[in-house]
Structure 1
Amino acid sequence: MSPPDQTTLPSNCDDASTLRVQNEALRNQVDTLQEQLAALKAELEAARGLTATAADTIAPTPADAPRRASCGPCGGDPSTSAPTAPPAHPPRAPPRHGLSRAQAERYSRHLLLPAFGVAAQERLCRGSVLIVGCGGLGSPAAMYLAAAGVGRLGLVDHDSVDVSNLHRQVMHSTARVGMHKALSGRLTCAAINPTVQVEAHVCGLSPASALALVDGYDVVIDASDNPATRYLVSDACVVAGKPLVSAAAVGTDGQLTVYNHGPDGPCYRCLFPESPSPENCSRCGEAGVLGVVPGVMGCLQALEAIKLLSGVGEVASKKLTLFDALSGRFTTVRLRGRSPGCVACGASPALTRASLPDYDYVLFTGQPPDDGPPPDLQLLDAAARLAPAEVAALLAAEANGAEANGAAAADGAAEAVAEAGEQGPEAGAKRGEDEARAGAESSTGSAGPAGPGPRRGVLLLDVRPQAQYDVMALPGAVHVPFERLDERLGEVLALCGAPAGSTPAGSSAAESSAANSAPTSASAAEAAPQGAAVDAPEAAAAGAGNHPPPRPRVVVLCRRGNNSQRVAARLAALGVEGVTDMVGGYQAWARQVDPAMPLL
């Protein structure tokens, strides 16, 4: 039986959290040990069954007993003598390996493989792998390595299982939503192969703990989801001299390589000496991911780890494998060797065992070490932005106003019919229809048949991508994806009732860039060029003293409340009056107003 599974807790965890995690870890250790005990009992029962079968084969039956008693040298028939029982220890050549019978049977299909064999399996059973990240990549990697018989697995994560993880993170289940991912992963791996030692490191990876963790394993798998952790894992592997199997998956694409392997194998910093800017980093939480894609890449990571431990096959060092899921195409790109000037693995490295624990990876990458949402921007005056409840009240008021205007239009239509009665029924009906149509358009703010025009009511401008808009939207919202704002800017300004000539030629791209790069403390008035007509709610509130801001005319909506601020600031700079956005976007709406709406 393997040693009990271990859970690593750093000293900086608070006491209550530590006790909760330790309690859960001990319970999981009991479950794992019970599973191991059940497996050993099953093997023991099978061995007893074989022994009983052999005993039944050589034991005399009651009918044969007298006959056998009369046989032998005292006159018995030699042809009917009892068969000789097999020796207690049948002859067998000494084994040429160190695997037990249970291991040989469990991994028999590996042993039958001419390209692998018993020696490779022994090396695999003696090996150890640290998996950083228990998500879409780490799940299949951990499960296949456990099934393959890697002697010791370390699972590193700081997050808990969320229902949105389950379509790709196959190591977890619906029943484990809310459970720590490293603990859930350990249960799954132990259930697959109870003879493998699985260690859960529940506080994630940090510069202070990275070297101690990496030093304890033979191979490291980077299954993380953010640049800060990727640089940290790579640097720690360089300092500790361990090979790193790295993969990534987002959308419908994946990539894989092995860093820091061989005399000239590059590290992550050799290829990316400067961290990509946050806006150029796609994450599953923002861009989405087809669930099977990280599954494919995680399986390839397990394969590379097996090759590294067993010494079988060609390791994917100095080459990058690209996977296009929609075309089913794998492409291999050659990578250059180690960079002499690399600060991690170059001739004179700046990152050493002494300096790495103090290195600020968040400052270097500009991103936190997690897959959380982007930070909230503050481009508009907070007092002028609308909370989801305020937007709901605004929509309710619009609906009530529409009903009142509709009733008034109906009355006006009836009066028009009566007044035009002398002109004949057809003329009266025509005038009534015109009155009703005018009342409906004034209540809803709809564009007439001639095309979009200024809205009389509140305009809801939804700037999310088409895929998100197709899932859910607020009623009456006009959809203009953020990525298409430039090409549809004239249409949007017309809907918003912007003054004529508010879009100078060639200004769209420049002002879009200004809105995207505006400082977090900037308001819509600050984002506007000098002399521009700005009458956004926040500017009106600032100039009106204690008077409340005017009723908003345009409310911009997005997923989380960042792109909506960018668009609102840009429209205000172009002269749109009364433009604001909804704080927190549709996510806040789903949490605070409509819990039945899907939370993407």
Structure 2
Amino acid sequence: MQADTRAPDGAHVATSPVWLGGRVTSTASALATLGPLVAESAPLPPAELARYARQITLPQIGMSGQRRLKNARVLVVGAGGLGSPALLYLAAAGVGTLGVVDDDRVEESNLHRQVIHGVGDVGAAKVDSARAAVAAINPHVVVETHPVRLTAANALDILGGYDLVLDGADNFATRYLVNDACEILGIPCVWGAILTFHGQVSVFWAAPPSGVEGVTYRDIFPEAPPAGSVPSCAEGGVLGALCATVGSVMVNEAIKLITGAGRSLLGRLALYDALEVSWRELSIGADPSRMPVTELIDTVVACEVPAPGTGVGAGPDAGAAPVEITARGLAALLASGTDVHVLDVREAFEREIVAIEGSVHVPMAQLLADGGLAAVPTDRPVVVHCKVGGRSQAVVDAARRAGMTNVANLTGGVLAWVRDVDPSLPTY
């Protein structure tokens, strides 16, 4: 899941306001005074009173807050690393109706961090696995599943049925779409992002109660990053426990919005470093020059796999000829006896998990350093691959700019090779 930063690769979260596209005002923030978002439900039955007794005891929540939680309708975008703990804790807290939107299925590589799913759920739709887990935790919660990918055509219909959205999306296109739909609908969005050991959390709301300044995702990050400039969790990795930390803070913010308790993160961006176990805070504000969002469009953001010739630093003369090949196409070339140089640009630890037989290992950083392309042969076809295609495309673009017309990117990387050519190999 991509952390929303415009920092150089390796930093992953903003450590200076210069990397935030919007307006960062200071490290102090005025109190965002917000009333309860949701009206109270009917009186709770005895079974639920007993269940939530320790929470009702909190004066900031009380009976009124618990009834508001019961009456709340909350949509969680993504049943993955952040959505998993969010759904579990929202259900345990007594949110009456939970929606979950995700078109993905559970994979084994999800299990180290997506704790709402288990071994028996591998291959199942994530929304179905999540619904079963929520039912096991709290049968009083209604779960509405949306096994689709959010698009400009369906986002308003889906989000419009909820009071509040928690955005745990793992790609920029969905993140911008959720933000824009929430702005049009006038509902708040609790947002989180994680990568490696770093997390970010905030609350976005274009139209909060009178007297409170609205802030949206686009106020901080006006435009999507260039293709391939920010790695995904598939490329950069993520600490599983980080999902719980950030996801639980997102739930905390949702409960505060619903009940009116405490000080919201609206107007503040919280940055977490798991290696240091430290939190930083940046105060954020609306960009006065930003035009309001009035309609939805599908933002195409090829963050993981840039289109040929459009990777990091690609220029207009990067080459017009096709520069990609499918896994099946590569397998056919190798089977035909063609002398193909398969170049693996991943890190060494990734090759220990899975590697294409006969491939040659040269890390991306080495190839992109001064003189590094000398390791790329020019006398035969070269197919470059990484895990899913982003890093390898950056190498292909650099090679094309250097005049090498014999270099192609393996579309989908080694994961596509495992899926389409040799399913006996492990994935990660």
Instruction: Indicate the TM-score class for this superposition, using the shorter chain for normalisation.
Output: 0.7 to 0.9
Q: Are 1:342 and 2:290 matched, yes or no?
A: yes
Question: SS where residue 387 of structure 1 aligns?
Answer: helix
Quote the Cα distance in structure 2 between the aligned partners of 1:241 and 1:579.
49
* In structure 1, distance between residues paired with 2:269 and 2:375: 49
User: Counterpart of 1:25?
Assistant: none
Report the TM-score when normalising by structure 1. Answer: 0.55
The alignment status of 1:241 with 2:186, answered yes or no, reads yes
Within a 5 Å distance, the mapping from 1:47-196 to structure 2 comes to 98-196=43-141
Paired amino acid for 1:251: T
Aligned to 1:471: 353
Q: How many Å apart are 1:149 and its aligned residue? A: 0.7
Residue 402 of structure 1 is matched in structure 2 by: none
Q: Does residue 388 in structure 1 map to residue 342 in structure 2?
A: no
Indicate the RMSD between aligned Cα atoms, in angstroms.
3.4
2:427 is equivalent to residue 493 of structure 1: no
Which of 267, 288, 303 is 2:252 aligned to?
A: 303
Q: How far apart in 2 are the matches of 1:375 and 1:568?
A: 11
User: Structure 1 residues 487 and 151 mapped into 2: Cα distance closer, same or farther (>3 Å)?
Assistant: closer
Q: Work out the CA distance in 2 between the residues paired with 1:473 and 1:152.
A: 45
- Provide closer, same or farther for how the CA distance between residues 360 and 593 of structure 1 changes in structure 2, counting only shifts above 3 A: closer
2:276 is matched with which residue? 327
Residues 281 and 99 of structure 1, relative CA distance in 2, 3 Å threshold: same
Alignment match, 1:293: 242
SS in 2 for 1:484: helix
Instruction: Tell me, in whole angstroms, the C-alpha distance in 2 between the residues paired with 1:186 and 1:305.
Output: 19
Alignment counterpart, residue 312 of structure 1, candidates 261, 273, 289 = 261
Is 1:224 the equivalent of 2:161? no
Counterpart of 2:427 in structure 1 is 599
Name 2:301's counterpart in structure 1. Answer: 367
SS in 2 for 1:257: strand
Partner of 1:209: 154
Larger Rg: 1
Q: How many residues align?
A: 371
Show CA shifts across 1:1-33 (max 9, x none). xxxxxxxxxxxxxxxxxxxxxxxxxxxxxxxxx
Q: What is the 5 A alignment of 1:464-543?
A: 464-473=346-355, 478-487=360-369, 489=371, 493=374, 536-537=379-380
Structure 1 distance, partners of 2:396, 2:161, is 52
**Residue in structure 2 matched with residue 462 of structure 1 by the alignment:** 344
> How far apart are the structure 2 equivalents of 1:573 and 1:275?
24
What is the distance in 2 between the residues matched to 1:152 and 1:389? 51
CA contact (8 A) 1:140 1:171 kept: yes
Partner of 1:272: 221
- 1:590 aligns with 418
- The answer to which structure, 1 or 2, has the higher relative contact order (CA under 8 A, 6+ apart) is 2
Identity fraction in percent: 41
Relative to 1, partners in 2 of residues 1:125 and 1:479: Cα closer, same or farther, differing over 3 Å?
same
Distance 1:215 1:465 in 2: 43
Q: Secondary structure of the equivalent of 2:264?
A: coil
Cα 1:206/1:118, change in 2 over 3 Å? same
Once the two structures are TM-superposed, the CA of residue 572 in structure 1 deviates from its matched residue by 8.1
Change (3 A) 1:180 1:374: farther
Aligned to 1:256: 201
Provide the TM-score with structure 2 as the length reference: 0.75
CA contact (8 A) 2:196 2:238 kept: yes
Provide the rounded CA distance (Å) in 2 between the counterparts of 1:310 and 1:213.
23
Measured in 1, the distance between the counterparts of 2:79 and 2:155 equals 16
Decide whether aligned partners of structure 1 residues 100 and 274 sit closer, same or farther in structure 2, where only a CA change above 3 A counts: same
Q: Distance in 2 between matches of 1:281 and 1:109?
A: 42
Q: Which residue of 1 aligns with 2:3?
A: none
- Distance in 1 (CA, whole Å) between partners of 2:225 and 2:374 is 34
Change (3 A) 1:179 1:265: same
2:233 is matched with 284
Q: Aligned letter for 1:281?
A: V
For the Cα contact (< 8 Å) 2:194–2:242, is it kept in 1? yes
Gaps of 5+ in 2: 1-41, 310-320
Q: 1:477 to 1:332 in 2, by over 3 A?
A: same
Cα distance, 1:167 vs. partner? 1.5
- Cα 1:330–1:595, aligned 2, differ >3 Å: closer, same or farther? same
C-alpha deviation, 1:379, in angstroms: 4.6
Q: Aligned pair in 2 of structure 1 residues 177, 318: CA closer, same or farther (>3 Å)?
A: same
